Structure 1
Amino acid sequence: MYPEHTPHVPVQRAVKVHQPTPYPPAVPAATPVVPVQPGTVPAVASIVLPDGRVVTGYAINPTQPEPAAAKPVVSRTALNIALGGAGFLAVCGGLILLTSFIAALTAFITQLITLAAVIFGGWIAVQILGTRGHQGGGTTVNIRKAVIKRNHFRG
């Protein structure tokens, strides 16, 4: 067996990092060359692993998570419930006014019917009991001139 692979003796190797210089991209002659700021090109790094392999790549900065959206002070559900309650109270107020209006209208109509019955009943009573001359065929007696003697009426 090889000494690197013995389980009891760990072998530590130094990690070497190479910084190769990237080649500039080939630019056609017709295209003007725009100078690049030195901070915009990411650095290329090579790492030698303990088993001898070389890994080359760009260093990646960890991505920052998006800031969480600020939550409103009052949730939308609570706001919807509150607005529904306000609407319900407005409807109840309208229903109370409508009920009061219907009750007042009913009382007014009842009074009109009662007044009409009293007037019409009085007109009927006058027609039945009233005198319009001698149309009934009965005898009219003037009581002031009558003389009553011994329970016998003489007119």
Structure 2
Amino acid sequence: MNEPTPYYHPTGHQVAAVEVHRPTPLTPAHTAPLMHVQPGAMAAVTSIVLPDGRVVTGYAMEPAKPEPVAVKPAVSRTAVNIALGGVGFLAVCGGLLMLTAFITALTALITQLITLVAVIFGGWIAVQVFSASGHSGGNTFNIRKAVFKRNHFNG
């Protein structure tokens, strides 16, 4: 609100004198050294006359060539990776199925072997217990005519 404007200066403020600074032009310090160029390596200098009569001189430039676009494959890599993952998963599932079938068959074989051993061993024990042709231990009594009187044996 109390800022000075071009039309109004509050009392007690003095307007400072304006100083104008004009820049001095810089002179180039050194020019670039000239390099020897083969005659065929440098492009030809071209001059163009503008409609107002000025002449512009410069090197002719080749138009920029666009970079070749990479050819995309018919099938994306993501689809190929997903398909390969599915094939691998199916292979693993088949292997797991065969592993469970192998474990089941091995369990059945072990069960049958245990049953066979129990039957053979049990049969061997039964033959040993009930055989009469084996060794006979103890005394043999031939009782022909015996008379039992009052819980007393007379033979």
User: What 5-or-longer segments of structure 2 have no aligned partner?
Assistant: 1-37, 145-155
The residue number in structure 2 matching 1:57 is 58
C-alpha displacement of 1:136: 4.5
**Counterpart Cα distance in 1 of 2:126 and 2:91:** 52
The residue number in structure 2 matching 1:90 is 91
C-alpha displacement of 1:100: 1.0
Q: Deviations over 1:47-79 (max 9, x none)?
A: 5597x8653113323212023111111122221
The residue number in structure 1 matching 2:46 is 44
Percent identity for Structure 1 against Structure 2: 63
User: What 5-or-longer segments of structure 1 have no aligned partner?
Assistant: 1-26, 28-33, 146-155
C-alpha displacement of 1:42: 4.7
| CA shift in 2, pair 1:140/1:100, >3 Å | farther
Task: Determine helix, strand or coil for the equivalent of 1:55.
Answer: strand
Q: Deviations over 1:14-68 (max 9, x none)?
A: xxxxxxxxxxxxx9xxxxxx9x8xxxx6560235597x86531133232120231
Q: If the length of structure 2 is used for normalisation, what is the TM-score?
A: 0.52
Q: If the length of structure 1 is used for normalisation, what is the TM-score?
A: 0.52
8 Å contact from structure 2 (residues 45, 57) kept in 1: no
The residue number in structure 2 matching 1:118 is 119
The residue number in structure 1 matching 2:77 is 76
| CA shift in 2, pair 1:134/1:140, >3 Å | farther
The residue number in structure 2 matching 1:4 is none
| CA shift in 2, pair 1:134/1:92, >3 Å | closer
**Counterpart Cα distance in 1 of 2:141 and 2:114:** 39
Q: Deviations over 1:91-113 (max 9, x none)?
A: 22122112212211221121011
- Structure with higher RCO (Cα < 8 A, 6+ apart): 1
8 Å contact from structure 1 (residues 49, 55) kept in 2: no
| CA shift in 2, pair 1:133/1:94, >3 Å | closer
The residue number in structure 2 matching 1:151 is none
| CA shift in 2, pair 1:118/1:140, >3 Å | farther
8 Å contact from structure 1 (residues 46, 55) kept in 2: yes
